[in-house]
Structure 1
């Protein structure tokens, strides 16, 4: 599969993987900052953004997508950043390919399994009648009955595409809906050697709890966990300065 990506900067290769319902666009501001020192590849994962759609959608498949992307672009020893779902893809790739990466940064996700908690969002997205939708404002109003948080709705509705024929989803909504339980799956395997791994945790998020630290250390021996105060799940968007300070300190070690 040929994944869509945005490429910026020069130097040591660095790959960014977005989370569920996201795309490379969500990381553009951070990618531009990193591009001052790195050769950044910000990737749209399958069934997201401008990348192809497929019925196959699980972590082994997406980790293979990343491996293929690295081979296709002849990338050597990359730094890999993954947020949420992208963090699990990055972890699975790192475990499967321990020799072909330099550093791993996992943003606000643990290697454990999670119960389904996006059902309300999916119900809201599936409720939108795209054939009769008149405007993005109408979409926001309808979605607000399921998703009360304005910021979350704005994030989700970035997936709504409009052209001369009307509205359509950039995401593969039927496949995401069908496979949502798979997105909660835990990491298969563990890293067999100690390498530089950083977990960045949003204090207000709840995705990484203190009781998860032992599992993180079991899966990634010697990994560091840093918590960013007053940040939720979208740490990089909510606290960009603190996120970049934490990231830069780790990358410069």
Structure 2
């Protein structure tokens, strides 16, 4: 199992899930460019990040893998799954998407690009505590209580900086192709996980025709808010590979 985190995160975010799964399956977390141990690595765009992911899989000698991604990591995961891969390279056998957007229509892209540029500039120069506090007040994080928000701010402030801004610009949702149709044509199982309280992504999932697990008492970041239930949904998906 290969895990991709979201913006402002790192591979360490998956630790509660990996504790559930690592006894049954080998697990690899990837710190995406600008994040964690890869904070000094840059990305030029979706193709560049996709190539970096492929290079890491080859570096570790992985032959068959299930890819699990959250938010930005889910978008990169679906892009990776939909792009051509070498016939003699590692084989993707399953895809799990947590709170990932399938892509915007052309009419919404300019506004999203402007919004992402606004946040990128704040990540470049703003005081971490204030910028992160404002970031986690966005509607997608409405299910978080004050303690959860403060925990995330404390966890993320050391990751704050220009690498985050660069990655946000490189992989903006405004630059992502619409991938839902391609996902539906993949010759492998795709499963979508979202939180009961994440209204936006529940609606996206419901309209996708993908297999969906809705996790109770969870918002956008299901694996952080309900790691046991997320792990149970993941384990159910993995049964088909045993």
Q: Please classify the TM superposition score into its range, dividing by the shorter chain length.
A: 0.7 to 0.9
Counterpart in 1 of 2:188?
A: 195
Counterpart in 2 of 1:75?
A: 62
> Which stretches in structure 1 are left out of the alignment for 5+ residues?
1-13, 130-138, 162-167, 218-222
Total equivalences in the alignment: 219
Q: Structure 1 residue 28: deviation in Å?
A: 1.2
Q: Structure 1 residue 64: deviation in Å?
A: 1.5
Q: Is the 8 A contact 1:110 1:212 kept in 2?
A: no
Structure (1 or 2) with the larger CA radius of gyration = 1
With structure 1 as the length reference, what TM-score do the two structures score? 0.72
Q: Structure 1 residue 20: deviation in Å?
A: 0.9
Kindly indicate which of the two structures has a greater share of residues assigned to strand.
1
> Which stretches in structure 2 are left out of the alignment for 5+ residues?
138-145
Counterpart in 2 of 1:102?
A: 93
- 1:204 corresponds, among 197, 204, 226, to 197
CA distance in 1, matches of 2:134, 2:193: 32
Structure 1 residues 177 and 239, CA gap change in structure 2 (3 angstroms): closer
Is 2:202 aligned against 1:233? no
Q: Is the 8 A contact 2:202 2:214 kept in 1?
A: no
Q: Is the 8 A contact 1:124 1:143 kept in 2?
A: no
Q: Structure 1 residue 105: deviation in Å?
A: 0.6
Aligned-CA RMSD value:
3.1
CA distance in 1, matches of 2:119, 2:61: 38
Kindly indicate which of the two structures has a greater share of residues assigned to helix.
2
Structure 1 residues 63 and 80, CA gap change in structure 2 (3 angstroms): same
CA distance in 2, matches of 1:71, 1:57: 21
Between 1:147-156 and 1:192-201, the stretch displaced more is: 147-156
Q: Is the 8 A contact 1:15 1:78 kept in 2?
A: yes
Bigger relative contact order (CA 8 A; separation at least 6): 2
With structure 2 as the length reference, what TM-score do the two structures score? 0.75
Counterpart in 2 of 1:246?
A: 233
